[in-house]
Amino acid sequence: MHYLDHAATTPMLPEAVDAVAAALRETGNPSSLHAAGRRARRVVEESRERLAAAVGAKPYEVVFTGGGTEADNLAVKGIFWARRDADPRRRLVLAGAVEHHAVVDSVQWLQRHEGAEVRWLPVDAYGRVRPETLAAALADAEGTAALVSVMWANNEVGTVQPIAELAAIAAGHRVPFHTDAVQAVGALPVDFGRSGADALTLTGHKLGGPVGAGALVLGRDVACAPLLHGGGQEREVRSGTLNTAAIAGLAVATEAAVAARSVTAARVSGLRDELVAGVLARVPDAVLSGDPADRLPGNAHFAFPGCEGDSLLMLLDARGVQCSTGSACSAGVAQPSHVLTAMGVEPSLARGSLRFSLGHSSTGADVDALLAALPGAVERSRRAVLASASSR
């Protein structure tokens, strides 16, 4: 089996598995005052410090969550609520047009249920929000903006956003800036303090940690209302008994991924470049999506003209090559990708898209297997498209 879907989830690092397993064997609620509780608390707080150090944050800024989706929901809704409560005129949310659904759907929910105004920030053909776009939008919205949310790097097409520039523009307007860095941490240099962002989402299972553990790195002075009410465990912003074992695994994995980042990224991007060159050599009319250079090291996203992404995926799966169409699914039905649509990709081309994503365990054999299976799959998929067109 050849796994080319690391952007969906990547294998856990052995040291993270060990950290989770060790913590699972211990009893103790980190909020308890007795010895067992203190022991668990120590694991959580050491993890907080290690995670903070790995991403250039202060320990107090790390709010542990149940994953990236929760962290995105907390940032978008929580900061919106806090800003609106402080000043009822601040109801405008500005978000990139290619955000992950965890942000897109949170913003749309605020629009439908909380009276939010929304401005989607358009992107260029690579999927990038240009700084001047944000600057103009904020200049337009003086006194009404609640927050800005732009992802660090796109999960589908891999394009890296100019986060420091965007965050500086938002700061100039005194508007909190959130960035979903789920795909970026461990793959790109991510330093929360230097980025100028006010809130940053990360998650464990994209960097070698467990599923179900993530964090919102939230600046000390950023007001944020809670989504989950209860014991107030995390800075009164997030309630719920802390998941000590998952948090331990998250911290160990983040630390290891960040420490190995420059070496891993160089190796993975080398493989990715071979993959891109190999695909273009075998399927000359394939179109590489996203920024050809400034992209996630493991990401290669293509549109294959005349093909359907889901049949390509099925044919490659049958050959032991696992990848993704990169778009959201509802009951497994592929919807047109809002990312590609925002980039101006024709719907017929967008339908023939596949994402190959490499990671820390990828090898040259994975790339070779894809390149061996791809031409036949493309040919068959094209035949299927023609067959359904002619049987009309």
Q: Does 211 bind other proteins (CB under 8 A)?
A: no
Q: Does 199 bind other proteins (CB under 8 A)?
A: no
Quote the CA–CA distance of 372 and 279 in Å, as a whole number. 10
Which of residues 1, 293, 331, 365 is near other proteins by CB under 8 A?
331
| Residue 278 and residue 367 in contact, taking contact as beta carbons nearer than 8 Å | yes
| CA distance from start to end of the chain | 37
Say which residue the tokens 């202060």 belong to.
Answer: 58
Q: Which of residues 307-326 bind other proteins (CB under 8 A)?
A: 310-311, 313-315, 317-318
The contact pattern for other proteins, residues 291-310, with x = CB under 8 A and - = no contact, is -------------------x
Q: Does 383 bind other proteins (CB under 8 A)?
A: yes
List all residues 6 or more positions away from 54 whose beta carbon is below 8 Å from its beta carbon. Answer: 251, 254, 255, 258, 259
From 55-63, 94-102, 292-300, 328-336, give the range in contact with other proteins by CB under 8 A. Answer: 328-336
Would you list the DSSP string of 328-366?
A: -EETTEEPPPHHHHHTT--HHHHTTEEEEE--TT--HHH
Quote the CA–CA distance of 52 and 60 in Å, as a whole number. 8
Measured on CA atoms in the order 109, 111, 117, 122, is the torsion positive or negative? Answer: positive
Which of residues 276, 303, 334, 370 is near other proteins by CB under 8 A?
334
Q: Active-site residue 323, yes or no?
A: no
Q: Does 368 bind other proteins (CB under 8 A)?
A: no
Nearest distance in Å: CB 25, other proteins? 31
Q: Does 380 bind other proteins (CB under 8 A)?
A: yes
Give the rounded distance of the alpha carbon of 113 from its chain centre: 25
From 156-164, 171-179, 235-243, 382-390, give the range in contact with other proteins by CB under 8 A. Answer: 382-390
Residues identified as active-site: 329
* Residues of this chain that bind other proteins (CB under 8 A): 310-311, 313-315, 317-318, 329-334, 380-381, 383-384, 386-388, 390-391
